[in-house]
Structure 1
Amino acid sequence: MSNSKQILVLTGATGFIGKHISNYFVNIGWYVIALVRNIPKKNEENICYIKYDLVSEIDVSLPDQFDAFIHAGYLKQENGNDAFALNVNAVEKLLKGLSNKQVGAKLFLSSLSADQNAASVYGRQKMAIEELFLKENGIVFRAGLVLGEGGLFGVMANYLKTKNKIPLFGSGKQPIQTVYIDDLVLAIEKIISKKLTGKLVVACNEAVTYRDFYEALAISVGSKPRFIKTPYWLAGLGILIAKFLRIQLPISKDNLLGLKQMKHISTAGDLKKIGIELIDYKESFLKLGNRRKEEKFTQ
């Protein structure tokens, strides 16, 4: 590793968003220290993988000085675990371990779902962790629905490639604000380079309704959408039954609760402060479609 390289310490580096963050920063000349639960078999140039579990009691050895720390790791609510306590306690321990080090920027990858009164465990724990980072004069990066070949969006896109039935919850007018994965990582770099701190929301200012979004997504992957009106209570019951029968569904109870509480958030001011223009969901679908075509062509 060259001493001239800037250093990023990143949790969740093998996840959908984490991989993009890691690859992007390596491509612009950084050195990435990736804290991961399972070390990949394939070595990557300028990435040092270190085995680390968010629930582990073992402290991880990090340099005394580095340029940025990004927390993109997350423990899901599953198998009866207390995801709220596990995630919050893990971050408290991580930040305590950084207290005696010189760290240029501390960024937490949060979500528009973050709310102390959220019905979902996901939303409440995101809010609790946000407060921990803000106390450290860190950066809270609230992302909209991330569009790319992975994450919740990737699961739904893959589902619609073979099926066309889409549950329509409520009126189907829930507002969805998106961010394309390439825009997300660029925004992170800009925030760090500008030494911004505090809470910043990165999502298209203009929302699209749930129905319009999934209709456009289905068409983009070659499916003819068929909406089925589904009361929230019935969807919740279906998720419980599927869990009991160990059937994997594209959405979870937390996803459903988060959808029910969706509301539009103004992002224009934050995007201007960061200095970035985001592409909308339609252009994102086009870019993802072109990527898939290129991958098929090169295979």
Structure 2
Amino acid sequence: MNFSNIFVQLQNKETVLITGASGLVGRHLLNRLSHTDCHIIAICRDIPQDADPRFTWVSCDILDIITLQEVMKGVDKIYHCAAIVSFNPKMQKEILQINVEGTANVVNAALENSVKKMLHVSSVAAIGESEGENKIIHEALEWKKENASGYGMSKYFAEMEVWRGISEGLNAVIINPSVILGCADWDKGSAEIFKTVYNEFPWYTQGVHGFVDVKDVAKAAVILMNSDVLAERFILNGINISYKDLFFKIAKSFNKKAPHKEVTKFLSEIIWRIKYLQEKFTGKPSILNRRTARTAMAKVEYSSEKLKAFFPDFTYTNIDETVDRITKELQVKYALKVI
């Protein structure tokens, strides 16, 4: 593909590039930006069969420095969404390579091509932890390596590449979403929560975590990109809610039996070990491992006050509306039977 020809033909339009365009956040950004007059370049490793023809799709791995440099010529703005989201220890090497080295490549290409602004999609996994119980996590907390998962480390070091780019003259801003809820492949990622509840998994925990609608992530990303805010990071968190309450809401929306057995700390240690052994025998990765089991027991709350301070009119989608929309989309996607 001749990228220079694309630029010449569309040089009068603002050009926006989205990495990871086929992913959950990338797809919602495309949808949100489709109503604008900008030229959109959507890059991903594998172009989906139902790729929207309104966008310029390019097959590009962010580890491919040459293609990345070429496709970024003439680009005005970048939404960097490409990343691997996994807590599977077996994927540690790939996670670090894509999330850290890939982000470094995107930053370098943006600097080389004088991109006007970049928005980096990070995670609350790159935010430091508060000391003690019942303390709200905010953007200024110090990150500590000893408390981080492999995924958390990858997102933290990816952010360091963005801050390095900022020090070298790149205009950039960072968002740190909590657990993103949206309709996606429910065999992996956060959508697996919905599959677990649909299959009437009987267990729940009283652990608390932050969750945010993918539509709100895309909305906040566009608002920040089009603002004059630079060199800042923002937690995006729609609600802090217990897994029990979230599971109950999903079960109600699916008209399924809600979880009815509480997992104690002792039981969680047994269950993740059983799942680990099952994974060894079947070869099928489980959403439940030592880290995810312990995370499900923890009570962690995130503050979204900084974003509200910068943009007082910004509002998050109600969690009931989010759950109902996603369950309906999953019913269509997987032809689910709901009584």
TM-score interval w.r.t. the shorter chain?
A: 0.7 to 0.9
Please state whether the residue corresponding to 1:164 is helix, strand or coil: coil
Q: Deviations over 1:6-58 (max 9, x none)?
A: 22211111112211112221232332212211122345233222222244464
The residue that corresponds to 1:36 in the other structure is 44
| 1:14 corresponds to | 22
Q: TM-score normalized by structure 2? A: 0.75
For residue 71 of structure 2, give the secondary structure of its aligned residue in structure 1.
Answer: coil
Is this contact kept in 2: 1:13–1:34, CA < 8 A?
yes
What corresponds to 1:131 in structure 2?
160
Residues 88-128 of structure 1: CA deviation (Å, up to 9, x unaligned): 12221221222221212211111222244344111111111
Distance 2:278 2:228 in 1: 46
Which residue of the other structure, out of 67, 80, 83, is the alignment partner of 1:71? 80
Q: Once the two structures are superposed, what CA deviation does each residue of 1:131-159 show, in whole Å capped at 9, x if it has no partner? A: 22123332111112222212633222133
* Structure 2 gap segments, 5+ residues each: 1-8, 128-143, 167-171
Tell me how far apart the structure 1 counterparts of residues 173 and 115 of structure 2 sit (CA, whole Å): 12
Kindly indicate whether the alpha-carbon contact (under 8 Å) linking 2:176 and 2:236 is maintained by their aligned counterparts in 1: yes
Moved more, 120-129 or 90-99: 90-99
Aligned partners of 1:29 and 1:256: how far apart in 2? 45
Q: 1:72 to 1:251 in 2, by over 3 A?
A: farther
Asked if 1:180 is matched to 2:213, the reply is yes
1:106 matched residue in structure 2: 118
Instruction: Give the drift of 1:79.
Output: 4.8
Tell me which residue corresponds to 2:35: 27
Change (3 A) 1:269 1:130: same
Change (3 A) 1:164 1:37: same
Gaps of 5+ in 1: none
Distance 1:293 1:36, change over 3 A: closer
Aligned mates of 1:7, 1:143 — CA distance in 2: 25
Root-mean-square deviation (CA, aligned residues, Å) is 2.8
The corresponding residue for 2:227 is 194
- Per the alignment, residue 287 of structure 1 pairs with 325
From 103, 112, 120, the counterpart of 1:91? 103
1:149 is matched with which residue? 183
Distance 1:189 1:112 in 2: 19
| Aligned positions, number | 291
Report the TM-score when normalising by structure 1.
Answer: 0.84
| Gap change, CA 1:42 and 1:282, over 3 Å in 2 | closer
Structure 2 Cα separation of the partners of residues 212 and 193 of structure 1: 36
Other-structure match for 1:140: 174
Q: Is the 8 A contact 1:123 1:258 kept in 2?
A: no
Equivalent in the alignment of 1:264: 301
Q: Give the Cα separation in 2 of the matches to 1:58 and 1:254.
A: 37
